[in-house]
Amino acid sequence: MTLLDFLDNAEQGQSDLQTLSGLSFLMSIDGIGPVKAIKIAESYRNLATLREASAEQLSTLVGRSSLDLERHRWSEINPIVLPDGVRAISKFDVGWPKSLQNLRSAPAIIYVVGTVPDIPCLAVVGTRQPTDFGLRVVEKVVEKAAQRGWGIVSGLALGIDTKAHEMALKYKTPTWAVLGGGVDVPTPTANRELAEAIVNSGGGLISEQTPGSEPNPQRLVARNRLQVAFSEIVVAAQCGIPSGTLHTVRFALEQNKRLVVPKPTGTWAGEKSSTANMALTDPLGCSPTILNASSSLAKVLLARRPIADVVLSSDDIDAIWR
């Protein structure tokens, strides 16, 4: 049984692979994720063309071992029905965000409630257990960003993320939450009202996960790369070791985004929630292992002293943009 066999019964009227339904169809095949779905849709615009491809051509394009087709049967590409208030943007749509166009691991589809970023943005991220240090940093950073007309991107999580969104609302600058689950069921539930306020203020909720999806650790890590992609600068306000925020830091370095890390001083310097701040701002550098960096990135990080592009002090917030 081959992919071509499964396509023979597909309806001609639903044949365009470069659509929301077409990409969803491709990603329903075991072993085909967003990157491979985009490759197939780019190479074979519709099902008729795809039927003409040989097994060898498909194998070269996406890898023979990745196509586990024996458990699948389709008669057509079914239209996608979205919950009220949710819209979907595919990689091939005119409205696809420019900030995702060159992302190596870009999703094929994003789901949105509200808007997507259309102004320069800061990603403000950090621990779920912030201290006064981290909370003060966020307020000062967001206030300055609002004065400059910049938006705020974060993840709606408790702690630093919540503070970042709240300060954006306070200072009346748009803010966007990139989620690890469905945009129709924003989590945590404690932040449902905050999510609504974000949308009502002109910002939005964004996710690559289908509506109704629940977040899990893998999805939460993956969404961090999108927070970075939507932003010109990443501010790691406060985080410890280990920390999920360090995945965002790694993505910032991989995507060559400006990394800003505030350095605690005095009694704040010894706080557990700031151990990563101290490491990333150390003028002697730090071990790449705290970022789970790959061998190639690890070599780059070993030469960075400090890891952060900007070591931020509380009395010079404008250094973020210099």
Q: Do domains 3-65 and 113-321 have the same CATH topology?
A: no
Which pLDDT does position 175 carry in this prediction? 98
Question: What is the distance between the alpha carbons of residues 229 and 106, in angstroms, rounded to a whole number?
Answer: 9
User: What CA–CA distance (Å, rounded) separates 222 from 208?
Assistant: 9
Q: In percent, how much of the chain has pLDDT > 70? A: 91
Q: Are 305 and 131 in contact (CB under 8 A)?
A: no
Strands 175-178 and 310-312: unpaired
Q: Where are the alpha helices (DSSP H) in 171-291?
A: 192-200, 217-229, 245-254, 275-280
Listed in order, strand segments (DSSP E) in the chain are 87-90, 109-114, 121-126, 151-154, 175-178, 204-207, 233-238, 258-262, 310-312
The pLDDT value recorded for residue 235 is: 98
Pair of tokens at residue 188: 């945590």
- For 97-125, the DSSP string reads -GGGTT-TT--SEEEEEE----S-EEEEE
Phi, psi of 302 (to 5 degrees): -65, -25
pLDDT band at residue 79 using 50, 70 and 90 as cut-offs: confident
The 10s digit of each residue's pLDDT in 177-205 is: 999 999 999 999 999 999 999 999 999 99
More confident residue, 53 or 83: 83
Among 87, 85, 29, 92, which Cα is nearest to 62's?
29
Tokens of residue 242, six digits = 């280990």
Residue 85 has pLDDT above 70, yes or no: yes
Q: What is the pLDDT of residues 27-70, one digit of tens each?
A: 888 778 999 899 989 998 887 787 777 777 777 787 754 454 33
User: So where are the chain's domains?
Assistant: 3-65, 113-321
Report the pLDDT value the prediction gives residue 73, as an integer from 0 to 100. Answer: 34
Place of tokens 């491709």: 26
Token reading at 119: 């102004």
Q: Are 310 and 320 in contact (CB under 8 A)?
A: yes
What does the alpha-carbon distance between residue 92 and residue 115 come to, in Å, rounded to a whole number?
Answer: 18
pLDDT in the model for residue 3: 53
pLDDT in tens, 248-300: 999 999 999 999 999 999 999 999 999 999 999 999 999 999 998 888 899 88
CATH architecture of the domain formed by 113-321: 3-Layer(aba) Sandwich (3.40)
Where does residue 33 rank: exposed (0-12), middle (13-18), buried (19+ CB within 10 A)? middle
Of 203, 48, 189, whose CA–CA distance to 118 is shortest?
203
Partnered with residue 152 across adjacent β-strands are 122, 175
100-118 residue pLDDT tens: 998 989 999 999 999 999 9
Q: Which pLDDT value is given to residue 64?
A: 54
Give the model's confidence band at 25: pLDDT under 50 very low, under 70 low, under 90 confident, else very high: confident
pLDDT-derived band at 169 (thresholds 50, 70, 90) equals very high
pLDDT over 80 at 1, yes or no: no
Tell which residue, 92, 83, 79, has the closest CA to residue 37. Answer: 92
Question: Could you confirm whether domain 3-65 is CATH 1.10.150?
Answer: yes
